[in-house]
Amino acid sequence: MKNLLFVDDEPRVLSGLENLLFSFRREWKMTFVTSGEQALERLREDTYDVIVSDMRMPTMDGATLLAHVKQHHPNVIRIVLSGHSELEAAVRAIPMAHQFLSKPCDPKKLKDVLSRATSLEQIIEDAVVREVLGSLQELPARPKIYTALEQLLRDEKAPLSRVAELVEQDIAISTKLLHIVNTAFFSRGRSISSVREAVPRLGGVFVKNLVLATEVFRSGPQCQVPGFSIDALHEHSLLTGAIARRLLEMLGKGRWADEAFLAGTLHDLGKLVLASAQPQQLAASLQGSVREGRPLSDMEYSQCDAGHAEVGAYLLELWGLPYAVTCAVANHHRPGRVEEGSCELLGFVHLANGLAHEVDGNDVEGAWDRAYLEQRGLLARMDEWRAVAAEVAEGLRET
């Protein structure tokens, strides 16, 4: 039985949460306390899987509480429950929290978030993957600017100028965003000179997703692992996302284009986690597999990465990203294990990943599940997809 701890200084809020989650009482053990001090006392007495904390509380606010939990109980999943008036306090908690929920919280949203947070182990099928995750001192929190953008964009009336202001707070992300936006693939020949100009052209959601991918790779492992290049992985991931996005647009499925781009750019996130968690083991495994002058292909990497797809999906699920994205990431090497129709993005991310490697000149024999692609009508148009991938790659290279 999962153990959940709820913290809010307003008893009526806690009473409402308890009533709302009454149907889960046989699945979850739930404790409700009215202060950070009481929460720390409970944490000393028992082991919890999830903590859900309010932000504005007297004596000890939510940011301070979650900072303590992060340091002393790093395996506890940390969720913030904050109102719009608490945005300043919530921003302080961004480095401490895995997920954010707005108050008042939609009942279905709250139940979905807690259900997903308490069932993360279902993603992990391999004992080696469990070992990798267990070797992490803590599971990384959501990237800061991405989380702030998500909070802002929950308000449909939020001006795009505010989105630009948030991005401009980070010079490195602003620079990277402008570099990517000015590639031929995104700019369509029109030079974009500022973040404020780029945001309305691309849309707030797309900018948010691009920021997430940029933040994830910027915060990647600092260790030096022979045969592993973050820059090469970032380029491959960006190309995969761009190809997946273009394929969906061509097929008249543009409503999924933003999520396809996000899933493609994050499909190899697990490799960053592995490089952080087990750099020595990774380096030893890579010896003899590296060819001079080019990054490893997925096929070579799969001999030593012990389930990077599942590891990446675990982290994205923890951050509360859409199911379509986490499903595509978890299964991008083995799409056939997912029931048809249950994950619309998967086939396109699987296809785009192989096409991106092929464009880069890597040996892609065995990269695709051809039976899966044929069953979904994608294999017959492979020559067309290759032309699309080459066009996208050329567009991303041009600035």
Give yes or no: residues 273 and 388 share one domain: yes
For the chain, what is the domain count? 2
Res 151: pLDDT: 82
Torsion of CA 248, 253, 254, 260, to 10 degrees: -50
- Closest Cα partner for 345 from 320, 315, 313, 318? 313
Of 74, 97, 118, which one is at a domain's C-terminal end?
118
CATH of the domain at 243: 1.10.3210.10
Res 37: pLDDT: 96
CA distance 238 to 183: 12
Distance (Å) of CA 307 to CA 129, 249, 329: 6, 30, 11
Q: Give the start-end residues of each E strand in 219-313.
A: none
Q: State the residue for tokens 């900072």.
A: 67
Q: Which amino acid is at 171?
A: I
Global pTM reads 0.74
Query: What is the domain range of residue 314?
Result: 153-397
Res 303: pLDDT: 41
Phi and psi at residue 138, in whole multiples of 5°?
-160, 155
Of 75, 103, 118, which one is at a domain's C-terminal end?
118
CA distance 315 to 47: 21
CA distance 238 to 240: 5
Which 8-state DSSP code applies to residue 184? H
Give yes or no: residues 324 and 272 share one domain: yes
Give yes or no: residues 193 and 273 share one domain: yes
- Average confidence (pLDDT) per 10 residues, the chain, 399 residues: 94 92 91 96 94 90 90 87 61 73 79 80 62 63 83 84 89 83 72 87 87 82 68 89 93 89 91 71 46 40 58 84 89 84 86 91 75 88 94 82
Give yes or no: residues 202 and 111 share one domain: no
Give yes or no: residues 91 and 205 share one domain: no
Give yes or no: residues 103 and 206 share one domain: no
Residue 390, domain member (yes or no): yes
| Under 8 Å between Cβ of 275 and 220 | yes
CA distance 90 to 138: 21
Which 8-state DSSP code applies to residue 54? E
Of 118, 142, 175, which one is at a domain's C-terminal end?
118
Give yes or no: residues 159 and 228 share one domain: yes
CA distance 89 to 55: 6
CA distance 151 to 61: 19
How are beta strands 77-83 and 50-54 bridged, if at all?
parallel
- Closest Cα partner for 102 from 51, 52, 162? 52
Distance (Å) of CA 352 to CA 91, 245, 328, 331, 382: 35, 9, 12, 13, 11
> What are the strands of the beta sheet with 2-7, ordered from one edge?
28-33, 2-7, 50-54, 77-83, 99-103
CA distance 322 to 137: 26
